[in-house]
Amino acid sequence: MPLHPNWRARLVPPSAPEDQRTRRAGVAIVVSLHASAAPSVLLMKRAEHPLDPWSGHVSLPGGRVEPTDADSLDAARRETLEELGVDLERDGELIGALEPLRATARGRTVDLAVHPWIFAVERPLELVPNAEAEEGFWMSLADVAAGTLDHTHSFVIGEGQRVSRPAWLAPGAERSHVVWGLTYHILARFLEQVRSDGSEPLQP
C-alpha cells in the first residue's frame, strides 16, 4: 500500500502565519479512505476558458484567497465546495498541510503562493462539478506508487521550444487525463512524506 501506517503524524500544519502581503491560493488534497475502494486522491479537469492560465488542465480543487476568506485553508474548503460540491467542513477531516509552492503557468513562474491542505474522507462522496470543472474523478494512490500511471508530457513554450515533464496518465470517466506541472509536484511531495516502503499495511 502507498501510505505509511502513521502517515497522519507526518503531516503537521505549518506553524508560521501566512504572509498576507503575497497573492495566495489554497488547494485541497482530498484522500479517500473508505473501505469499499483503495486509497485515492480527488482531482478535477478544469473547464476550457480563455482567461484561465490553467484552462483544461487537471488540478486539485482550490483557488485564490478572496477577501471573504480568513486564509488559504478557508479558500481551499470554499473552492472545493463550489467546484465539486464536496463539503470538507462536513465530510472531511483536516490532517495537515504541505509547505506552499510557487505557481507556474505556461512554463513560467507566477506571483502566487499555493498552500496545499490535506483532508481525509471515509465515505463515498457524490461529485457535482460546477461550470469551472468539466469533470471530477479519483486517482488511485496505489497505481501512482506502483508506477503504472507514469507518463511524459511534452509541450511548447516561448518561441517554439518543446520541453518534456514527468506526469501521470490518470483514468477518467470517459478518457484518461494527464496530471502534470504544479499538481504533479504537489502530489509527488505529498507521497514522499506519507508513502510506505511496502512492508506495513495501511491503517486509516
Of residues 160 and 74, which shows the higher confidence score?
Answer: 74
Name the one residue in this structure whose C-alpha cell is 511496502.
198
CA distance 156 to 150: 20
Report pLDDT for 52. Answer: 65
How far lies 148's CA from each of 23, 57, 109, 151, 157, in Å?
36, 21, 30, 9, 28
Output 34-38 pairs: Cβ under 8 A, ≥24 positions apart: 34/121, 34/122, 34/123, 34/124, 36/124, 37/138, 38/1, 38/140, 38/141, 38/142
Domain assignments of the chain as residue spans, ordered by start: 7-194
Name the region of 56 (left: φ>0; alpha: ψ -120 to 50; beta: rest): left
* Full-model pTM: 0.86
In this model, does residue 12 exceed pLDDT 70?
no
Q: What is the CATH code for 7-194?
A: 3.90.79.10
For residue 198, the model assigns a pLDDT of 46
Report CA torsion sign: 143, 145, 148, 149: positive
> What is the reported pLDDT for 57?
85
pLDDT at 1: 42
Residue 161's pLDDT band, with cuts at 50, 70 and 90, is confident
When the pLDDT of each residue in the chain is averaged and rounded to a whole number, the result is 84
CA 190 – CA 88 distance, rounded (Å) = 19
Residue 16: Cβ within 10 Å count = 7
